[in-house]
Amino acid sequence: MRQLNSKDLIRILPFEKEFRNKLLSEYDSYEEGKKFEVTKVLWESFDELYEAIKKAKSDTLTKEVADGTRHLTSDISEIIDQEVWDDIEARLQKDPEADESLLKIRDKLQHLIKEN
């Protein structure tokens, strides 16, 4: 697992392409207070995304074990954590699609950006 920075979070989170590009290009030029607020929202958003992916992976893995289609050879939490990070790494390699479940977060970030 690599250490993520704010720009990685911008790439991972499901923003519209234009908004993501604007945020990536302007992020370094924000004054410190604004950068702090944007970064805080990014990490909160990432945490929500991480937990949603973890829940989905956990549900899938539990179902596969219950159905007998998958057998565990190590700790289930380690397997789930690895699958979540694999998913996050894959998201870094491609543009995520817009996700309406994060609309409030996107709106909050857009509001912060437009304040200056």
What is the number of domains present in the chain? 1
Closest Cα to residue 4, out of 58, 85, 80?
85
Judged by DSSP in three states, 66 sits in helix
Quick one: average pLDDT of 58-76? 86
pLDDT reported for residue 98: 45
Structural domain contains residue 1: no
Report the range of poorest mean pLDDT among 46-50, 90-94, 110-114.
110-114
Render pLDDT for 69-103 as a digit per residue (tens, 0 to 9).
988 777 888 889 998 999 888 888 765 554 555 56
* Confidence (pTM): 0.73
Better pLDDT: 93 or 4: 4
Q: What mean pLDDT is reported for the chain?
A: 84
Q: Is residue 108 part of a domain?
A: yes
Is residue 72 domain-resident? Answer: yes
Range of the domain at 26: 6-114
